Amino acid sequence: IRELVALRGIGVWTAEMFLIFHLCRPDVFPAGDLGVLKAVYRHYNNGEKMPLADVLAIAENWRPWRTVATWYLWRELDPVPVEY
């Protein structure tokens, strides 16, 4: 992530998406992703916002598969089935 964000126009979220979708890294948790945060709030705090530190503590339980957890969180928000 550090190397990618050094490039002009690349932020942390973009670097995390690159790691997830292009490099297929299994343990990336995009804590700045609004969809991920919304799903965590829904499942762990009755839909109410919570401090980022609490979200990160929850995500620690998903190591070393935080990318997989992220994918499930995203899919939970979208009611339309996806065909790959």
Contact 56, 31 (CB under 8 A): yes
33 catalytic? Reply is yes
**Helical packing angle, 34-44 and 52-60, nearest 10°:** 80
Q: What are phi and psi of 54, to 5 degrees?
A: -70, -40
Catalytic residue among 27, 33, 54, 78: 33
What residues are labeled active site?
33
